[in-house]
Amino acid sequence: MRNEALTEKQSALARQKAAEQSKGKIRHTISMTLLYIVLAIVGVFQIFPLVWLVLFSLKNNQEVFELSPFALPATPRWENYIRVWTEGNISQYFFNSVLYTGSAVLLTILFASMATFALTRMKWKKSSLFLGLFMVGLMIPVHSTLIPLFNTFSNLDLINHPLSIILTYTAFNLPITIMILYGFYQVLPREVEEAAVIDGASVHRIFFQITLPMTAPVIATAAIINMIYNWNEFVFINTFISADQFKTLTVGIQNFIGQYSTDWGAIGATLVISILPILIAFIFLSDRIVEGISAGSVKG
């Protein structure tokens, strides 16, 4: 009798445990379903502006003003893209944007990596002071520097010169890039560098052949952030560049805005062309960005 009662009790406990597991699975399924529904809604809201912009770029002025903003174009006007690329000088603006953005990103990553390596891997006086000076750059408003920079570039004969834009982008992106790299360098193991020192490697070799490759994930994160800022920047280009041959996409779009008429379809096509490089770069570098952020935020 005692064994039968014990067996019945164990069976009851097993049934209760199975019921609890079944309820747990149901709750997990419901919660995951709700999560996916919420994420799908957020995804729709994120993607919708891009879809709307593409549809907008395929319309003419009449369709823009007479049709609903959500209506499909009666006849997709792909010629808007051909016109802005050939007649609107967008090809030159696109090349300038790539040149300024790519050059500034490379210089910023290189200088910021060197500075961060010196601040975290070398022992020298006033290193904390210099780190603080770099961080002060984050608090300087962009607009307060326009007149001093314009006067400086004017004296150096760099107005209407690509170098004025590249130097400005590099300088203004250094503080945020150093801040991003600094956290990663703090958790980077020193054993490999110490072994290289024992083997007789110089500081330059340690930096370029050991440390720099190890920081590839966080460099990708910093590069995409710099790329987005440089590609979309307007104020410095509009201030230092007036020659049409040196303008970028963000400023060149004004060519389609006239005193009496505006070509809205061409503006939409230009905007689509301008966002494609950043969108493609983000898609291909998204894994590296997540890897760099997670690696720089977790110690151990």
The CA distance from 122 to 220, in Å, is: 24
pLDDT bin (cut points 50, 70, 90) of residue 294 is: low
* Mean per-residue pLDDT, 189-193: 81
Q: What is the pLDDT of residues 25-75, one digit of tens each?
A: 888 888 889 999 999 999 888 888 888 888 888 888 888 877 777 788 888
* Mean per-residue pLDDT, 70-94: 84
The DSSP letter of residue 207 is I
The CA distance from 39 to 76, in Å, is: 31
pLDDT bin (cut points 50, 70, 90) of residue 174 is: very high
Q: What is the 3-state secondary structure (H, E, C) of 180-192?
A: HHHHHHHHCCCHH
Q: What's the pLDDT at 188?
A: 83
The CA distance from 15 to 9, in Å, is: 10
The CA distance from 263 to 270, in Å, is: 11
Crossing angle of helices 162-187/127-136, nearest 10°? 130
Q: What's the pLDDT at 300?
A: 42
pTM for the complete prediction? Answer: 0.79
Q: What's the pLDDT at 299?
A: 45
Q: What's the pLDDT at 102?
A: 94
pLDDT bin (cut points 50, 70, 90) of residue 83 is: confident
Mean pLDDT of the chain: 84
295: pLDDT strictly greater than 80: no
